[in-house]
Structure 1
Amino acid sequence: MTAPQFSNDFILELEQLFSWRRDVRHFQSKPVDNQILDQLLSVASLAPSVGLSQPWRYIKVETPALREAIYTLFQECNHQAAQEYASEQQQLYSNLKLSGLNDAPHHIAVFSEANPQQGKGLGRQTMPETTAYSTVMSIFSFWLAARAYNIGVGWVSILPPEKVKLILTVPKDWNFVAYLCVGYPQFQNIIPELEEKGWEKRNPERQQWIIK
């Protein structure tokens, strides 16, 4: 097969796609068509994985009781996290919108099978965590594909893994990696919301090589 040659215009648009990928917290109520969600999962499944193990497991969380349980867990963890900051930071923390759980029409939980038979263990003997790394690559592929469809993704990272596994009753050897809020964003901004609200800013040193 002949590999495609990508144009300069495509390369520039690809850079724009990376630049405009945001962690979305504000969603419209309009649902995403199931065919598009299926296409995003297909793209996510093209991600590289150690030994071609494809350890990712995507769950659509659609049952209202399960969503409510996840949201209650988030509220508990969010309140506890706020107490860890000094008083001057607590107000800033309280102004951050750290999830779109109430707004997003779609909730997707992503797990990584710790030691899948697929791949026959290749590349995992010394670094078993590479299955989780592979799942993160899949999530990022999902995220970029979603942005290309003008769909937003928000990663809720404050949830305790074991409690999420209990709520969603998944196999013991599935490790919780991400809980994603998915839907059309209310607005878009090239500047990360955490930077816009003064929580943190990008470090230009992270764009430089470390030479050894």
Structure 2
Amino acid sequence: MTPPDFTPEEIEAVYRVIRERRDMRHFRPDPVDPAVLRRLLWAAHQAPSVGFMQPWRFIRITDRDLRGRIHDLVETERRRTAEALGDRADEFRKLKIEGIRECGELLAAVLTDGRERHVFGRRTLPEMDLASLACAIQNLWLAARAEGLGMGWVSFFDPVDLAGMLEIPPGGKPVALLCLGHVESFYPRPLLESAAWERRRDLEDVVFENRWNRRAFGVEG
């Protein structure tokens, strides 16, 4: 058995930051230290990627007028989402879904153009570029939590409209708006769980063995 390279305290710190990461919506407007922001983006850039394609690009939104137009774009999609939710529309409208105007930093996470050149690991699963970008976002998220900063992933936008605003070249695609910044406190539980929108599933319900729906843990149902 290979001994761990990290102390028990270091190992626990990793699990703690995973456990206490939250999708944040409430921010203070205090600026983020540029050195910290660079560390967080470094962490994102260390993510694994299929075929080492590194498909992520991050656009820092510093123009206040542009941030306002992005907020309006998100509000448009928020209204459309509410209309599409039917019986849960009023429940959804009560939820805070973003902190675009308040957060210290706003980043757009974008899939780069020219991804079709990368065949390694994507011939049958072309969506692995998206999976790779998601890994970069998660790295950034966990690093932000370790630094005491909150982050929220916003997906309420039309990607074509946002691509136009950000002058993303043809073939590139914005995937997430990342609100990053200081917070008064971290939510004790995921916000949507606290709002009774959904609950976290039990581990036993999502881990199977050998065949679909054959539980790996616990007694067969």
| TM-score (norm. length: structure 1) | 0.91
For 1:185, the aligned partner's letter is V
For 2:121, the aligned partner's letter is G
Alignment partner of 1:200 out of 162, 179, 198: 198
| TM-score (norm. length: structure 2) | 0.87
Alignment partner of 1:124 out of 122, 125, 134: 122
Question: In the TM superposition, what is the alpha-carbon distance from 1:68 to its structure 2 partner?
Answer: 1.3
Equivalent residues of 2:113, 2:170 under 8 A apart = no
- After TM superposition, the structure 1 stretch with the greater mean CA deviation from structure 2, 42-51 or 76-85, is 76-85
Compare relative contact order (CA 8 Å, sep 6+) and give the higher one, 1 or 2. 1
How far apart, in 1, do the equivalents of 2:105 and 2:146 lie? 17
Structure 2 partner of 1:51: 51
Percent identity at matched positions? 32
- Residue 75 of structure 1 aligns to a residue whose secondary structure is helix
How far apart, in 2, do the equivalents of 1:165 and 1:58 lie? 13
Give CA-to-partner distance per residue, 1:44-70, whole Å, 9 cap, x none.
111001111111000001112211111
Structure 2 partner of 1:165: 163
Q: Which runs of 5+ in 2 are unaligned?
A: 212-221
- Residue 189 of structure 1 aligns to a residue whose secondary structure is coil
- 5 Å-filtered alignment, 1:37-76, equals 37-76=37-76
- After TM superposition, the structure 1 stretch with the greater mean CA deviation from structure 2, 147-156 or 120-129, is 120-129
Equivalent residues of 1:44, 1:141 under 8 A apart = yes
- Residue 70 of structure 1 aligns to a residue whose secondary structure is helix
How many residues are aligned here?
208
For 1:78, the aligned partner's letter is R
Q: Does structure 1 residue 84 correspond to structure 2 residue 84?
A: yes
Question: In the TM superposition, what is the alpha-carbon distance from 1:117 to its structure 2 partner?
Answer: 8.7
Structure 2 partner of 1:210: 208
Question: In the TM superposition, what is the alpha-carbon distance from 1:4 to its structure 2 partner?
Answer: 6.9
Equivalent residues of 1:110, 1:178 under 8 A apart = yes
Equivalent residues of 2:104, 2:180 under 8 A apart = yes
Equivalent residues of 1:136, 1:177 under 8 A apart = no
Q: Does structure 1 residue 18 correspond to structure 2 residue 21?
A: no
Q: Which runs of 5+ in 1 are unaligned?
A: none
How far apart, in 1, do the equivalents of 2:193 and 2:49 lie? 32
- Residue 146 of structure 1 aligns to a residue whose secondary structure is helix
How far apart, in 2, do the equivalents of 1:208 and 1:106 lie? 35
- After TM superposition, the structure 1 stretch with the greater mean CA deviation from structure 2, 8-17 or 163-172, is 8-17
Shift in CA distance, 50/114, structure 1 to aligned 2, threshold 3 Å:
farther
Give CA-to-partner distance per residue, 1:73-116, whole Å, 9 cap, x none.
111111121122334x2332121100001211211001112544
How far apart, in 2, do the equivalents of 1:74 and 1:206 lie? 36
Q: Does structure 1 residue 105 correspond to structure 2 residue 95?
A: no
Equivalent residues of 2:67, 2:101 under 8 A apart = no
How far apart, in 1, do the equivalents of 2:181 and 2:135 lie? 20
Question: In the TM superposition, what is the alpha-carbon distance from 1:186 to its structure 2 partner?
Answer: 2.2
